[in-house]
Structure 1
Amino acid sequence: MTTSLNAALARLDQDASLGADAGHVGRIARLRNGSASAEDWSAAATHLLRIDPAMALAVLEHALNTHAREATLHYLKGNALRMLGQAQAAESSLRTAIAMQPAHADASFSLAFLLREQGRMNALVEVMLDLWNHAPRTLQSDQRILFFLCECGRYADAARLLPALLAAYPDHVEIARRAGEVAMVLGQFEDAGKHLRRALALNPHQPSAWLRLAHTHRFSADDDPDLGLLRSARARTDLDADAQSAIRFALGKALDDLQRFGEASEVLAEANRNWRAARPWNPAAFLASVEKPLRPRAVAQGKGEEGVIPLFIVGLPRAGTTLLETLLSCDSAVRSRGELNWIDALAARLDDKADAATVQAAGSLYLRQLIQDDAPARVYIDKNPLNFRYLGLIAAMLPQARVIHLKRNLCATALSLWSQHFAHEAMAWSYSFDDIARFARGYRKLMTHWLAAPPLPIFELDYETLVSDPDTAIASVRGFLQLPAGSAPANATSTAP
């Protein structure tokens, strides 16, 4: 018996938290005398994973000498290796477990999480679909796969599963709602409306379903059935506050479509007032970040992936980032990843004192999420507008990055923000014009700071120019990105009213 294994068993023996386990003493004895079952080794390793992955690995390597065909032991070994930062070996162990037991859901999800950390989204989808094909059809298993694919932004792949799920569970509210959400993302608005109405008929206490229903189409007639549905829902007294807020934002959107601006303003004012009263914005953290923006002293070395340009489109939300993203993405050399939340997450883990190795690792992690494992491109877009808060961090992690600062008339932006329901803590400032103005002052102050001594190349673009003269605007942006001259779109359709 190896020294490391003896140490692991001694740790198990001493761990007071196992004292309540009546079979603990007998299990340790079996582990020591060589008569332990695979279940004994699995129980020991599972406990050690919570306190010391290296000890768990020692136990598992010994166990696999006598139980090499036990899929769960390979799965646990993969988890130990993953926790120890040995990604390649972890992947090998997890794939071994899945090969032995294709319906091993925990091994499949552990591998999928590992692949997501590496930005290997296509490989992740293969693992999930393989599990779908082998796992027993149960509601819990099916939902787990569907929801994970949606969480990873793989809506087209999730859509492949929905016909079977809708047929098997026609009265399941979460599946109906998720089907509507997937259809919305894929631009299948008629199907989205059908699924969302079904979900609301099953359970009207669903804020997101009400909100999305209003965005499945532009309202053009007073007798639109969805308008009647929203008016009736507004009059109900049995729905919770979150659902009522969403209904009012949805109704406000419908009335605005119908150019009933007075009534729309009244409904939206009520919606904003109620939401803000329940969730007031605390500006302290944001204002502190404006006064002292995060900028690590250490800088990542090198230029990251050769020839790859991370492009950050920043500004106030509703300033036209989606329009610019759409126009740029017409070029196969440009790929958009939408609004990623990784920069915000990394900012929460780093500070000005982070060393070069930590900054480099953070940049590498982010690049993996940006580049992924699909067809290569030269420019990768992250259009999360609130990344303007972190340009110093971005410069430290990704010195090869570029920034487009998209500006729009503040009054138009404020009205657009006030008319939307974001239901997100980071957007708590968008529910009153006073809060919007305060946030905008901080945003302008911070952008003035960055522009005074740009940490990265920054290109400023007016939204109004992008809409009125998209050809010239996109040509200028392409020049900034050092992309070859190409034909810009002849017209632009704004998504930021």
Structure 2
Amino acid sequence: MAADPRMEAQKIAGLLQAGKLRAAFKAAKGAMKRWPREAFFANLAGLALVHDGDSRQAVAYFRKAMALNPGFPEPAQNLIQALVALDRLETAQATLDKLLAKRPRDPELWYQQGLCHMRAGRAETAETAADRALELAPKMVKAWLLRAALRMDRGDFAGALEDCRAAERRAPQSAEVAMRLSEALSGLRRDAEALEAIARAAALDPGDTEVLHRHAVLLNQAGRTDEAKEALKRLLTLAPQSPDGLYDLVQLQTAEENAALLPQIETALHKAREDSARLLLEFAAARVHGQLGDAAAEARHIAEGNAADARLRPHDFAAAEAQCARILSQFPEDAPPPAAEPLAGPVPIFVLGMMRSGTTLTEQMISAHPAVFGAGELDTAARLTMPQVAGEAGFGADEAAALARAYRAALPEMPESTRAFVDKMPANYRLIGYLATALPEARFVHLVRDPRDVALSIWRTHFPAAAMGFTADLEAIAQMANLYRRYMARWQALFPERILDVPYAELVQDIEGWSRRLAEHCGLDWVPEMAAPEKNPGAVRTASVNQVRQGVHSRSVGAWRKHAEALAPFVAALDPALWPDLDAG
């Protein structure tokens, strides 16, 4: 009896579903020789390669499948996804344009168009493509999720929540939908609901490692550390070499627990091929060696992790310097801008400064007040001032009034009793001129910390955000510290009464005294809870999540001295004219 190619294809598809990727690829290649005119074997070979992390080689197989059967849509869609994964966006777009010219009412192609534009940073055209996909196929769940992701990227978490709810109505048993729903709820600071959604996702698909990881992250942010550890251990049972799982778990464990985990980290490091995986594993290994007292090994792994990070995200200091010049040129020191009219609503309290300077601790202190809402690190101000920051628009009275209205309109929902809220995006130090002008009712709390302690903390920590590429290079950290000093000198000259400087070293020595000063500056009556920030039940979403739960201490003050040799490139790049009060000790 002659072999049936369709039965063979089903067998190969079964291997793919079982995760037996190399066996599937080998079987698909064998089938291509037996049935050289059948396109689906080349397509299956390409899929096996993609799932095994080799999109580059997969491209040739998808092209072969398309040549064998131009009317077979799946290889073309897979080709586009592979090209997008490889960042070959122009080629992907050219392929899409040809296919859309032939099939303009194909919702899958419009969905792929949206993905391609999203990856290329063309958010507006990506959303238009997602809209078109949904017009053609309102039941396409992944198109709802794509548009939700695009809306979250531009800070429209309410719109994203609507899209996630629409996806949920169409796929109520989808773990991915529940996970994206949790992301939208987190963006709206609806933390309890976000945790419920991700717990539901984990129940729907206990084997989804991405879901397990997000569940662990949200549990940890909520202060449920033991449960977060258990979720990470389940993840590592399924994926023993998971960089995210290993990196996050070592942050939560004791030295003894991490010593037992070290061989697993070293095995994962040995097998890791991509810098994106290596950098997390290097930082995980560094954390363990630091706990075990091996300073040399800790320093080596930190250096390797930062080197991998720097290869992925080279820092453009010239662009940052040009941005600083553009912003400061709009606020000359001898001409303070006239303030806009204050708007009704809770008082904004901006907690800012260099990253790792104590902003999370300070937010937890202020938001422990029952009438204060902790909004976390909002990117709202940065998004709304993009035209001014880019030099594409001026900043007069009309723009200031528009900024105030738009900023308040974009705020997350808060309890009715809220009198003030904290926006603790550290990098808002760049934008004080805009914010102080647009929001005359706002208060500013500026954390001041020894830049060498800041640099040490940054150097030992991985920051995944795209704008944080400078954190992987000591000289770049110093350059950004110099720019920070230039910004703050201008704002303190223009708005001296509006900005409270809080020295970190003094704050951790006298938490009650400084909590009283913070209350006074923010127009609040002091409550004892403000002096116990570690008891604040609010979620913490920053790299300081684990430190802030430990209670206030001064162990990190002056810690740079033990690492003075490693920090030498940073200190050498500091501008002494900008840091005249920096002691040599």
Whether TM-score is above 0.5 comes out as yes
* Candidates 552, 557, 568, aligned match of 1:493: 552
- 1:120–1:372 CA contact under 8 A, matched in 2: no
Distance 1:300 1:378 in 2: 21
Pairing partner for 2:359 from 306, 321, 325? 321
1:272 corresponds to which letter in structure 2?
Answer: N
Q: In the alignment, which residue of structure 1 is the partner of 2:368?
A: 330
1:21 CA displacement:
7.8
Residue 341 of structure 1: how far off its partner (Å)? 1.0
- When the two chains are superposed, the root-mean-square deviation of aligned CA atoms in Å is 4.1
- Residues of 2 paired with 1:222 and 1:416: CA distance? 23
Q: Of the candidates 396, 412, 420, which is equivalent to residue 453 of structure 2?
A: 412
Matched, 1:368 2:368: no
| Aligned residue in 1 for 2:267 | 232
Picking from 452, 468, 475, the partner of 2:509 is: 468
Once residues 407 and 459 of structure 2 are traced to their aligned partners in structure 1, the CA distance between those partners, rounded to angstroms, is 31
Report the equivalent of 1:430.
Answer: 471
1: CA distance between counterparts of 2:150 and 2:295? 47
CA contact under 8 A between 1:119 and 1:371: conserved in structure 2? no
Task: Tell me which residue corresponds to 1:9.
Answer: none
CA distance 1:371–1:294, shift in 2 (3 Å) = farther
Instruction: Report the CA distance between 1:115 and its aligned residue.
Output: 12
Structure 1 residue 116: deviation in Å? 12
Within 5 Å, give how 1:116-195 maps onto structure 2. Answer: 132=168, 135-139=171-175, 141-195=177-231
Which residue of structure 1 aligns with residue 250 of structure 2? Answer: 214
| Contact 2:339-2:439 at 8 Å conserved across structures | yes
Partner of 1:244: 278
Shift of 1:402: 1.4
Paired position in structure 1 for 2:341: 302
Q: Is the 8 A contact 1:315 1:386 kept in 2?
A: yes
CA distance in 1, matches of 2:299, 2:361: 25
- 1:371: Cα distance to partner? 5.7
CA drift of 1:138 comes to 3.4
Superimposed CA distance per residue, residues 186-215 of structure 1 (whole angstroms, 9 cap, x where no aligned partner): 222222223233334444675443332222
Q: CA deviation at 1:493?
A: 1.6
Tell me, in whole angstroms, the C-alpha distance in 2 between the residues paired with 1:114 and 1:300.
31
Q: Which amino acid aligns with 1:336?
A: G
Aligned ranges 1:371-382 → 2 under 5 Å = 372-382=413-423
Q: Confirm whether residue 199 of structure 1 aligns to residue 235 of structure 2.
A: yes
More relative contact order in 1 or in 2 (CA 8 Å, sep 6+)? 1
* Structure 1 position 257 matched with structure 2 position 257: no
Q: Is the Cα–Cα contact under 8 Å of residues 161 and 181 in structure 2 kept in the other structure?
A: no
CA distance in 1 between counterparts of 2:419 and 2:304 reads: 46
1:185 is displaced (CA, Å) by: 1.6
Contact (CA 8 Å) 1:338, 1:381: kept in 2 or not?
A: yes
Structure 2 letter corresponding to 1:178? R
Report if aligned partners of 2:144, 2:164 keep a CA contact under 8 Å in 1.
no
> How far apart in 1 are the matches of 2:147 and 2:179?
17
Between 180-189 and 292-301, report the one with greater CA deviation.
292-301
Q: Is the 8 A contact 2:381 2:431 kept in 1?
A: yes
SS for the counterpart of 2:327 is coil
How far the C-alpha of 1:263 sits from its partner, in A, is 1.9
- The answer to whether residue 431 in structure 2 is matched with residue 390 in structure 1 is yes
Residues 429, 238 of structure 1: CA spacing in aligned structure 2 closer, same or farther, 3 A cutoff? closer
Q: Which moved more, 1:336-345 or 1:124-133?
A: 124-133
- Matches of 1:345 and 1:456, distance apart in 2: 26
Q: Given residue 177 of structure 1, which amino acid in structure 2 is its aligned partner?
A: H
Seen in structure 2, the aligned counterparts of structure 1 residues 112 and 363 have a Cα distance that, compared at 3 Å, is farther
* Matched residue, 1:65: none
Aligned counterpart in structure 2 of residue 342 of structure 1, from 380, 384, 402:
380
The answer for the alignment partner of 2:59 in structure 1 is: none
1:106–1:360 Cα change, 3 Å: farther
Larger CA deviation: 132-141 vs 326-335: 132-141
Task: Give 5+ residue unaligned stretches, structure 2.
Answer: 1-99, 106-126, 332-336, 534-550, 557-585
| 8 Å Cα contact 1:205/1:243 also seen in 2 | no
TM-score of the pair, normalised by structure 2: 0.60
| One-letter amino acid of the structure 2 residue matched with residue 425 of structure 1 | A
After superposing the two structures, state which structure 1 stretch, 258-267 or 406-415, moved more: 258-267
Contact 2:352 2:447 in 1 (8 A): yes
- Report the CA distance shift for 1:259/1:358 in structure 2 as closer, same or farther (over 3 A): same
Tell me the distance in 2 between the aligned counterparts of 1:292 and 1:456. 24
Q: 1:233 is matched by which residue type in structure 2?
A: A
How far apart, CA to CA, are the structure 1 residues paired with 2:104 and 2:283?
A: 57
Percent of aligned pairs with the same amino acid: 24
Secondary structure at 1:293's aligned position in 2?
A: helix
SS at match of 1:137: coil
TM-score scaled by structure 1?
Answer: 0.70
- Name the structure 1 match of 2:69: none
